[in-house]
């Protein structure tokens, strides 16, 4: 089974590229941000819990996120592979994911980071906030908080996956098609 982790800072274009990659490589796309937002819209218990963290640009607690992700994977027993987008975002989540996959005799194939400069990304998010309706996109302070969360909690994952020989980086600046092209040339080697 192909299992890819796509990561990158908020606004790096994970969601946009995932739409293309899931089709091309026949992967089930699981975006934790999208799943949380779906739960918020439907006012579920999980949604109510996640909302207070997300609105501030904080990460949702690990136990909640890990349990949710495992449940989502369980909904796709016949999947040929997975594309995780926005998960894992902490070392604890990465360790939990490795243990979970191992219990199913599976493991991560590779991780790919979309890299981009913070100032370009903040500008992209503020632009997206005008139409996305996402409270966490509309205020520069919340956006900066998401970058602090990323730098403190998510950036260490690069070394975690480098140590496993599973880390790849792709330049996320350029047109959507250019970035897709770069990702495809990395994916085609897996």
| Residues contacting residue 141 through CB under 8 Å, at least 6 positions apart | none
Closest approach, Cβ 150 to ligand ADP, in A, equals: 8
**146 catalytically annotated:** yes
Among 4, 21, 32, 170, binds ligand ADP (CB under 6 A): 32
The nearer residue to ligand ADP, 86 or 172, going by C-beta atoms, is 86
* Interacting residues of 161 by C-beta distance below 8 A, sequence separation 6+: 5, 94, 108, 111, 167
For residue 68 the two structure tokens come to 């949710």
Binding to ligand ADP (CB under 6 A) within 82-121 occurs at: 86-87, 89, 93
Task: With residue 69 as reference, give the H or E element that holds it.
Answer: helix 62-74
Can you spell out the DSSP letters for 135-182?
A: GGGS-HHHHHHHHHHIIIIITHHHHHHHHTT-EEEEE--S-HHHHHHH
Q: Which residue from 57, 112, 114, 147 is in contact with ligand ADP, where contact means CB under 6 A?
A: 57
> ∠ CA(126), CA(55), CA(27), 5° rounding?
80
* Number of residues that make up the chain: 190
Q: Which of 4, 13, 27, 33 binds ligand ADP (CB under 6 A)?
A: 33
Please pick, from the candidates 65, 83, 179, 183, the single residue that binds ligand ADP as defined by CB under 6 A: 65
Beta carbon of residue 149, minimum distance to ligand ADP (angstroms, whole number): 7
Give the active site residue among 51, 134, 153, 166: 134
- Judge whether 80 and 27 are in contact, CB under 8 Å: yes
Establish whether 128 is a catalytic residue. yes
Active-site residue (options: 9, 22, 142, 146): 146
Q: Which residues bind ligand ADP (CB under 6 A)?
A: 10-11, 32-33, 36, 53-54, 57-60, 65, 86-87, 89, 93, 136, 146
């Amino acid at each position: 089974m192909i299992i890819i982790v796509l990561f990158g800072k908020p606004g790096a274009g994970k969601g946009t590229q995932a739409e293309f990659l899931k089709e091309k490589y026949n992967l089930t796309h699981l975006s934790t941000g999208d799943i949380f937002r779906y739960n918020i819209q439907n006012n579920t218990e999980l949604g109510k819990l996640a909302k207070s963290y997300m609105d501030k640009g904080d990460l949702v607690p690990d136990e909640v996120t890990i349990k949710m992700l495992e449940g989502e994977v369980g909904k796709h027993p016949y999947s040929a592979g997975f594309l995780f987008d926005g998960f894992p975002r902490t070392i604890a989540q990465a360790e939990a994911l490795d243990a979970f996959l191992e219990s199913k005799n599976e493991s991560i194939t590779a991780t790919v980071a979309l890299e981009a400069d913070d100032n370009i990304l903040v500008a992209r998010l503020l632009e997206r906030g005008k139409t996305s309706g996402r409270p966490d996109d509309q205020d520069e302070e919340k956006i900066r908080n998401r970058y602090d969360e990323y730098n403190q909690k998510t950036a260490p994952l690069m070394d975690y996956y480098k140590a496993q020989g599973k880390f790849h980086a792709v330049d996320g600046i350029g047109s959507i098609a250019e970035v897709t092209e770069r990702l495809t040339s990395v994916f085609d080697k897996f």
